[in-house]
Structure 1
Amino acid sequence: MNKNKILNDPVYGFVTIHSDLVFDIIEHPYFQRLRRIKQLGLTDLVYPGALHTRFHHAIGAMHLMRNTLDNLRSKGHFLWDQEMEAAQIAILLHDIGHGPFSHALEFSLLKGIPHEKLSLQIMEELNRHFKGKLDLAIQIFTGRYPRKFFNELVSSQLDIDRLDYLKRDSFFTGVSEGTIGADRIIKMLEVHEDALVVEEKGIYSIENFLSARRLMYWQVYLHKATVSAEKMLISVIKRARDLVRSGHEVFASPALKLFLEEEVTLSRFKEEPHFLEAFCQLDDYDIWGGIKIWSRHEDAILSRLSNMLLHRKLFKVILSNEEAEQEDLDRLKERIMEAFSISEEEVGYFLVYGSMSNSAYLAGGQTINVLTKSGDVMDVAAASDLPNIKAMSKIVRKYYICWPKSVPFD
């Protein structure tokens, strides 16, 4: 019997696995792969401690889900044991569709395929393996289960995913401003008319949660050096892909080579099982192994970019509140072409520009609702004495330009 296995988590201490099925899912190769994918991609180039994995995060989220459901039970809500297990499985597998350096991969090899769609396909594959035992978890994950608050715990603006990753990422990066009171928030969660709400006395914990999320985005997730490294990685993968598809020999593991060679769509994932199987073998080591070999490739662009990334010679980044002038971009293109003796078609590997946005809370639509002492339900942003939350509802957009530091621009 696998019940009550215990893991020692650096954030929460001892984590108990209460279900044989959950333990068996964790033991499956598809889930074990998450040990080989860092949660924050290239962020350790900025915060050296950010070496935790998606495996850590998934286990932590499962632990918080169990605590949350135990708390709801203690408040008198009847939850079937099967629901408890299924909700833990749903949150355990919510990120299983992430690839290595997920956003970089989504922008270079898996265009238009969000990780949520792949998570669902992998869950369905696991469900076949476990003979239908994940049916309820899949219903919760997709929002088809009648008790809607279960899905809100998995995916909403105050879900278990965010509670864990903020607390965990803050811990491993050492960015104390991102610290949240996850235990306090969990104690304040309630179910009202089948919807997830927060008790009124927990409203300041929510304000702290949203403030921490905003700070973590600008200080960690959208840190300019992290953005630079990710854009460089995208350029490296695109160059390797373009070389492979034009007939050049480029080293890659069998799983990575398949995606370098083939244009993959979501329908191909569904119709051709070998793509999903190959994806479930991809991890950070495939990418880094490739980059180490590519640093000695005969193609000057691929080898230069690979060496720069390996040795942390990151692109220079300029962040601005306004979009770059086209004439400035054109002047920079010319200087890059001259510096690296490349064509205009190849400049895009070395000059990357665009925008990124951050809003801690999206008011309207799927909201964080507060249950007042009088029994009314209101959007947390509408609370009259919390102007900070209203301010955090504003979407902040910044524009970036990334290019090699050796190329001057003034």
Structure 2
Amino acid sequence: MDIQGILKTLSLSEEAQMFFTLLSIRLGIFLAFSILSLLLGRYSSGIISFVIRRIFVKQGTKISQQFIEPFKQGFQVTGTLILLSLCLYFLREYQAIYQILGFVLSISLVISAALLASRLSRQFILSYGISLIQKLGWNADEFVLILETAVNILIGLSAVLIFANIHNINLFALVAGIGIGGIAIAFAAQRVLEQLIGTIVIYLDRPYLPGEYVRVNFNVQQPDVYGRIESIGLRSTKIRIAARNTLLIVPNSIMATKDIENISRGKKVMVLLYLDFKKVLEEQEKALVEKIVLETTNTLFGIDPGSTKIALLIPKDKPGSRARVSFFILGSNEDSTQLRKRLLELANKKITKQFGEHGIQFEVTEPTIYVDSPIPI
């Protein structure tokens, strides 16, 4: 039985039959194009890579490897959502369905695009921003982290504004309403708000996580409290005090205002690299090599002061001299450690340039070795 037969069986008016017939046809077209969008969306990253290689003939492959292939899944999801949003064109006459599906797809698309933009911006900063910042004479280690945060905030605000503009949301009225309501709530429940704000600060800043050991002082007349974070709740943080094994419950509003020493995150990474010289170095050249390496590593923020060690050896398997360089870089988290590893790559280029200016030829025959080493408590 076809659609017309089903509608006649239901004894609907001719106008209603026409409405449901057109709706069924448009829904069928929408579903067909949606399936096609799901299939084509899988090739979004490949299509973008192809276009980039066509536009940028010399640098296209490098750009694709740096900015497309590492985020292949993000491009696929965003591309699929864009195609699905275009498919809504077939349902524009049915406002109820159009608005519901449009809201779901638009918020999904905005979130997906914002996450992709954040990852791309971070990759761009790590690839090109560090060298540019160093040329300007700024401290790249800390400046890059601040720049990443600022870019992410800008992307988030842009996503909110775009979503509000699409759905005609008056942000000024919404913010004003929230502000007036917030004042009333603040007078009624100031203590609760302080604890909630402290919780938000802790979750955003992440000074500690469950399972980590921290040292914090709550009273200047009492010794520091040292213990393990048991849990982080909406109102308080639970700390299992070492030795006594008792549980200390501290409101998050207090924890957010204290100086916290995170013991678990203290770590350093030992860097070990080998420089092979094509000839046996003379005493003057050895002193020059040590001077260049020490000056280069000491200019990098984050290297453990005085940890640089240089040993000049005579390799057994080939003629010439070998320099074994080792030092420690400090990092409180994975992002800062990765950033400093990137800075060391730039330091290698600087060493190569200075050796070349003095006519010293060398090569790095073995890869740089990174060994994680915890800082003793």
Greater relative contact order (CA < 8 Å, ≥ 6 in sequence): 1
Shorter-chain TM-score category?
Answer: under 0.3
Task: Name which one, 1 or 2, has greater alpha-carbon Rg.
Answer: 2
Higher strand proportion (structure 1 or 2): 2
TM-score (norm 2): 0.25
TM-score (norm 1): 0.24
